[in-house]
Amino acid sequence: MVLARDAILAGTLLDPDFVTILAQGSSPPFPSDIDIPALRVLTNEAKSKARSAQGPHPDIIERDITIPTRDGASILAHVYYPAHPAAGRSTTLPVFVFFHGGGFCIGSRHDDFESNRAIALRNNVVVISPEYRLAPEHPFPTAVYDGLDTLQWVAANVHLIHPSASIPAGLIIGGTSSGGNIANAVLYLNRDQENVVPVTGQFLSVAPLLPWPVLPEKYRKAYTSAEENRAYAIPPPEMVRSFLSAYKPDIYSPLMVPFNHPRGHVGIPPTYFQVCGLDTLRDETLIYEQVLREENSIPTRLDYYPGLPHHFWEFFPQLTKHVKRRTDDTVEGVKWLLEAGVEMRAG
């Protein structure tokens, strides 16, 4: 999808279903006094209850694995894969390394379990969701290096995760919100390694990619979403500031903003984007997508959710019709990445 400017601006008009939720006072409660470790416990408990309420999926196997990190520590990752071979499909399973969101400070390997289950089952994919270390205990760039360590370990040990998992069948890296930022940084960092892991696709969902202070002048007129969508900023600005203060990123580093990498975008694989019309981050995605597609001839795909706020499927799960559409889009987007990766390797 290539969005015209009028379509982008139309996306700032509130979706009627979102209007109803706001009128009901159903917005998620955000604490005024932000204690990040305590908030992490509360959100993980709430998500655990939601996951337990659904129970295990009969057609998916899930388990934890342990991944070593460069500093001698280790992190857990949650793995999803189909319990039964899909009829008529290849016996080899592609791999998707997914990074959860949470402002670099909260969240866990179990986040986005519904869409990760759908990806695994409907695309016949092994999904690996690492629990990278979080701020403030582990500030920038620990999460990025945990991500690279995960990618390298998975590539070297994929047979231990699933006997039919295959890197040549396809390897996607991606994430949601801050997890998308981490995935994007890992992708470029991997590209610059001596032993490059052959990533065939990138998935970026509502990710912070291009903060205003380091946005090149030529793109600034296209960045209006921060002001246009300020009234619907989720999480609220004070929480974002608290998260960034804990994470302590260097916005001049390509480990935080790969868009400005000195080597540019050479070697970046096909990329699938998701963006919300009411997201303050909207234009960061739209600018990056345009640069990849128009200036670097990199295949892209973009799904746009007009009238809806940042990460709505997480914060407003009662938007069931829209959440289902987003899950279906994600499955189709991953399918497109796998097909585009095959074409890229063949070319």
What size, in residues, is the chain? 347
List the structure tokens of 209: 């990619």
- Mean pLDDT for the chain? 94
User: What is the model's pLDDT at position 5?
Assistant: 65
Does residue 344 have a pLDDT over 80?
Answer: no
* Ranges 12-16, 71-75, 76-80, 250-254: which has the least confidence: 12-16
Task: Give me the CATH number covering residue 251.
Answer: 3.40.50.1820
pLDDT confidence band for 33 (50 / 70 / 90):
confident
How far is Cα 244 from Cα 239, in angstroms, rounded to an integer?
9
How far is Cα 119 from Cα 100, in angstroms, rounded to an integer?
15
| Phi, then psi, of 88 in degrees rounded to 5 | 80, 5
| Per-residue pLDDT tens over the stretch 279-298 | 999 999 999 999 999 999 99
Q: Residue 49 is which amino acid?
A: K
Give 199 or 85, the one with higher predicted confidence.
Answer: 199
DSSP string spanning 266-282? Answer: TT---EEEEEETT-TTH
Domain count, the chain: 1
| Phi, then psi, of 193 in degrees rounded to 5 | -80, 160
List the structure tokens of 52: 């337990």
Beta strands per DSSP E along the chain: 60-68, 74-82, 95-99, 126-130, 171-176, 201-205, 271-276, 300-305
Residue 106 DSSP SS3 = coil
Note down the domain range covering 338: 5-346
How far is Cα 322 from Cα 315, in angstroms, rounded to an integer?
12
The CB-based long-range contact list for 144-148 (8 Å cut-off, 24+ gap) reads: 144/182, 144/185, 144/186, 144/189, 144/255, 145/69, 145/70, 146/69, 146/75, 147/97, 147/99, 147/182, 147/183, 147/185, 147/186, 148/186, 148/189, 148/190, 148/193
Give 347 or 204, the one with higher predicted confidence.
Answer: 204
List the structure tokens of 108: 């866990």
- How many C-beta atoms surround the C-beta of residue 321 within 10 A? 9
Cα-Cα-Cα-Cα dihedral sign, residues 221, 186, 104, 325: positive
Query: Residue 196 CA to chain centroid, in angstroms?
Result: 21
Q: What is the pTM of this model?
A: 0.95
Rounded mean pLDDT, 169-195: 98
| Per-residue pLDDT tens over the stretch 231-276 | 999 999 999 999 999 999 999 999 999 999 999 999 999 999 999 9
Percent of the chain as helix, strand, coil, to the nearest 5? 45, 15, 40
